[in-house]
A and B are shown apart, each in its own frame.
Chain A
Amino acid sequence: MRKKALKNQIKVYRAKNDWTQEELAHRVSVTRKTINTIENGKFVPSTYLALKIAKVFGASVEDIFQIDDA
């Protein structure tokens, strides 16, 4: 069975908004470490957290997260 993998554009959206990981973490009420692990694809967030992240960026979840088919 293939390992669950989720690509994300968090780094890109953070750069667009000029936010640090800590800034984003504060906005979605998690730790910087959590944002870091999501950004690096090591931790798959819940639907709720994914929606929260998309909301603070003003984007849809699909814009931020995509299933990694590779």
Chain B
Amino acid sequence: MKSNIEMLERRRMRFLELYLIGFAAFIILSVTRFFFRLGGLNSQPIGTAVLFGLIISLMFLAISAVGYLTLGRKIKDDPGLKEALNDEMIQSLELRSWKAAYCGAVATTIFFAVAWFFYPVCDPVMIALTSVISGAGAYQATFYFKYRFL
């Protein structure tokens, strides 16, 4: 049981690391695609490559999120594991991470809103998706780094 808790905790952090790698790739490629679109580069081979990378990063995000949620369910099903792996420090970090999630989503929306003043924004679905994923990514990143360096 003891080593099981440690093992699950390590696995949870691995899934978070994978998620954050996918998140970083998604944000970079998403912003690149935004500017490529303004420059008319999205139909060029380089634009297709960015789109391909974006799809891979989304798959990466989905796989790590599913893994994280599956692990969360496994923890939830065992009262002992649930108590240990969702202890008060984890709960405290989760609360702080929500604040970062809000700020992340708002900052991304403001970024695109400001960009809209200078460029014609023509992909509102992508902007909305980026804002939502930014919020989720900010949550996970805050949780991960606060946990890691606490």
Alpha-carbon distance A23/B2, docked complex (angstroms):
8
Residue B17 lies at the interface, judged by CB distance under 8 Å to chain A: no
Residue B88 lies at the interface, judged by CB distance under 8 Å to chain A: yes
Residue A32 lies at the interface, judged by CB distance under 8 Å to chain B: yes
Partner of B89, one of A22, A29, A43: A43
Cross-chain contact A31 with B88 (CB below 8 angstroms):
no
Cross-chain contact A33 with B88 (CB below 8 angstroms):
no
Residue B5 lies at the interface, judged by CB distance under 8 Å to chain A: yes
Cross-chain contact B89 with A30 (CB below 8 angstroms):
yes
B84: A residues at CB distance < 8 A: 25-26, 29-31
Q: How many residues of B sit at the interface, in one of the four size bands?
A: 10 to 19
Residue B40 lies at the interface, judged by CB distance under 8 Å to chain A: no
Asked if A30 meets B1 with Cβ closer than 8 Å, knowing A22-B6, A42-B150, the reply is: no
Cross-chain contact A31 with B2 (CB below 8 angstroms):
no
Asked if A26 meets B5 with Cβ closer than 8 Å, knowing A31-B84, A37-B150, A43-B150, the reply is: yes
A49: B residues at CB distance < 8 A: 87-88
Residue B116 lies at the interface, judged by CB distance under 8 Å to chain A: no
Alpha-carbon distance A67/B64, docked complex (angstroms):
42
Please provide the chain B residues from 68 to 126 with a CB less than 8 Å away from any CB of chain A in the complex. 80, 83-85, 87-90, 92
Residue B52 lies at the interface, judged by CB distance under 8 Å to chain A: no
B85: A residues at CB distance < 8 A: 31
- By Cβ-Cβ distance, the 9 closest A-B pairs, closest first, are A30-B87, A34-B89, A29-B83, A26-B2, A29-B84, A37-B150, A34-B87, A43-B89, A46-B88
